[in-house]
Amino acid sequence: MAQVTLLILLSRAVGLGPVGWTVAIGYTAAVCLGLAGALRRAGTDSLGPADKVTLTRSTLVGCVTALIADTVHEPAPVFLLSALTLVALLLDGLDGRVARHTGTVSPLGARFDMEVDAFLILVLSCYVAVQVGPWVLAIGFMRYVFVAAGRPLAWLRAPVPATRAGKLVAVIQGAVLLVACAGVLPLVVTTWAVAGALASLVWSFGRSVLWLYRNHSPVTGPAVRTH
């Protein structure tokens, strides 16, 4: 209901078209179905306080998705798109703090947070790719390719220890794509910045794959670090 309300406000403000509506409603339906299934598997029927922060961020991502999808008909309102993206990125640092402060850290919350982050990066990369080049899509699709590769290669599905470098690379992706969407820098500077962000992401994923390969057992399966 919150998502629909925000979409109605967007329609009144910038004239959101049918493509934007359709894509945003599809995204919202996927989020609801995914959460319902995750809650059922977790044996609970309610979201924790941090999950509600992530859900709020998810509705903003739905609005960003609608605006970008609607560029099929007309250019996106850059200021509004940038403002919504900025708030969504800032909230990304809040849900983890809420979870730790309230003692409600959970695998469900961590996965929900990760999926919202990944989808926002995918949508932003699609928007920036139109301006900079199709190679930018590698930023948005890299995680999904990694997940797909984990289906035939079980050792890729083992958990990877979180590091400050990995978190910094994730922040860089959102920040650089936000600046690229805002169009505040010359195209050549934007292109080099996005290329640098992609290079850092390739390095981060490459390091994770190398760690997983070195710490898995061909016989017993992936080894999980306990320290």
pLDDT interval class at 221 (50, 70, 90) = very low
Determine the average pLDDT of the residues in 190-214: 95
Q: What is the pLDDT of residue 23?
A: 94
User: Secondary structure of 151-188 in the HEC alphabet?
Assistant: CCCHHHHCCCCCCHHHHHHHHHHHHHHHHHHHCCCCHH
Q: Is residue 78 part of a domain?
A: yes
Q: What is the pLDDT of residue 224?
A: 40
Q: What is the CATH number of the domain that holds 138?
A: 1.20.120
Question: Tens digits of per-residue pLDDT, 4-19?
Answer: 999 999 988 888 889 9
Stated pTM of the model: 0.90
Domain count for the chain, please give it.
Answer: 1
Q: Is residue 67 part of a domain?
A: yes
Range of the domain at 134: 2-222
Residue 225 has pLDDT above 80, yes or no: no
Q: Is residue 227 part of a domain?
A: no
pLDDT interval class at 147 (50, 70, 90) = very high
The Cα 24–Cα 61 span in angstroms is 9
Q: Is residue 151 part of a domain?
A: yes
